[in-house]
Amino acid sequence: MKRFGYIRVSNKDQNVDRQIENMRRESISERDVFIDKLSGKNYERPQYQLLKQLVRENDEIVFDSITRMGRSMNETLKEYEWFVENGVQLKFLKEPMINTSDEEDDIIKQAIQKVILTVLAAFAEKERLDIKTRQAEGIEAAKAKGRHLGRPKAKVTPEVKQAYDLWINNKITAVEAIDRSKVSKTTFYKLAKELKSREES
């Protein structure tokens, strides 16, 4: 029997330290911990798929939570069943009631476990959809208030205007103008185009 750990966060900016510490407490070697920084909406994740290729019958995979396994109810139920059918044990630190076992469970216990798993997987998917909805609502609210999303729009500052005037009158080079304007090369030329358009209008 070999023990593996699987860790997942939704994006590259999220921290995995807490989950890694939980794997250490389970005495799982760092080389046996697989980490994906991708959404849980599906199971097309490179480290997860690699782990599925490596596990053998009687091996065990430890997850911090069912949500770390995935956030799609139907897909999660399928993945869970795949491991059960292949004799791979699953351990969920936050939901021990759905841990699998190599012992022969009675039919009632299996049925109750499947019900609990279905409910937890449904909540995991709902939470993902709620997060997605809140993000979309936040973007729409910001747009309605006239907020600029993403990088702040570059503005013509006094330094840019002064540098532009000197440059356009051949008193300094473009390199000097960019340096004096304290903006990037791309931004300077973009603002210079804007200033020229103003003068011609």
pLDDT tens per residue across span 155-173: 889 999 999 999 989 999 9
pLDDT at 149 exceeding the cut of 60: no
Rounded to two decimals, the pTM is 0.62
In a domain, residue 79? The reply is: yes
In a domain, residue 74? The reply is: yes
* Residue tagged active-site, from 10, 184, 197, 201: 10
In a domain, residue 135? The reply is: no
Same domain, 110 and 168: no
CA distance 100 to 20: 22
Question: Is residue 101 annotated as a catalytic residue, yes or no?
Answer: no
Closest CA to 70 of 97, 100, 96, 92: 92
In a domain, residue 140? The reply is: no
What's the pLDDT score for residue 37?
94
pLDDT digits (tens, 9 = 90+) for 17-62: 999 999 999 999 999 999 999 998 899 999 999 999 999 999 999 9
Closest CA to 100 of 119, 79, 127: 79
Same domain, 164 and 78: no
Same domain, 173 and 117: no
State which of 111, 129, 147 marks the end of a domain. Answer: 129
In a domain, residue 34? The reply is: yes
| pLDDT band, very low/low/confident/very high, at 131 (cuts 50, 70, 90) | confident
- Domain extent at residue 196: 158-200
Identify the residue with better confidence: 113 or 20: 20
Count of domains forming the chain: 2
In a domain, residue 134? The reply is: no
CATH number at residue 29: 3.40.50.1390
